[in-house]
Amino acid sequence: MSIKALIFDVDGTIADTEETHRQAFNAAFLEHGLPWDWSRREYAELLRTSGGKERLETYIDSLGLKAQERTRLLGMVQLIHASKTRNYGELIADGRAPLRPGVARLIGEARAAGLRLGIASTTTSANISALIGAQFGADAWNWFEAMACGDVVANKKPAPDIYTRALGMLRLPAADCVAFEDSVNGLKSAKAAGLYTVVTPTIWSEGHDFRGADLLLSSLGDAQAPLQGEDARLAGGTCLTLARLRQLHADAQRSAAA
């Protein structure tokens, strides 16, 4: 089957957002008088938990607090997260999260070829809207026919729910689509939904086990940041083009059917 749609994770996949998220969380902690300051190393571990509110709950549970204090803080999660979301939007508007190499190029190729686009992200729709608007323009929201966000599914990644929802919104089978991810949880989610999956890790997920990926690259590549070495061999050039992706996807479909 040919590719009919590309479905993108957002944080870490479309743009380098995780440092911006970390800063937004820390600003929210100050706002609410909490003596927390997540370091990069600490946040990298917390990223193993999908979803911002879930990340906060995991952190609170790790503090070994007395029951009354734990309950109080857990009761603040929604409020803290709302502050963090506002902070994040302000930082994104200032251009704090650049697109990853090749993302704009490949999305442009897909749109020119008439492919459909979707989002499958555990972040909130507000965060996605802020990033898409800042990087692609206000009208870009309409480019994506499926917006499956973390606030509309019961089970977040690595569960397949978010991708199953995106496929349902597109009304396409998994075999007709390609997923783009940067994390192990995202990879597991996409593969559980039956999708051919391209993984481009970031500094936050380097060294994780991505053996289940159909294609593993350092980035999608572009003229300013061309792929080299093994990445270039796998991508068939200095960037992953739509034509090369179609070839790899078709090869995988034939192999699966054999």
Please list the active-site residues.
9, 11
Which residues, other chains included, contact 157 with Cβ-Cβ below 8 Å and sequence gap of 6+? 50, 122, 183, 185, 186, 188, 189
Q: Is the dihedral of CA 192, 198, 204, 205 positive or negative?
A: positive
**Residue among 195, 246, 196 at smallest CA distance from 3:** 246
**Residue among 244, 219, 226 at smallest CA distance from 103:** 219
Q: Is the dihedral of CA 215, 221, 225, 226 positive or negative?
A: positive
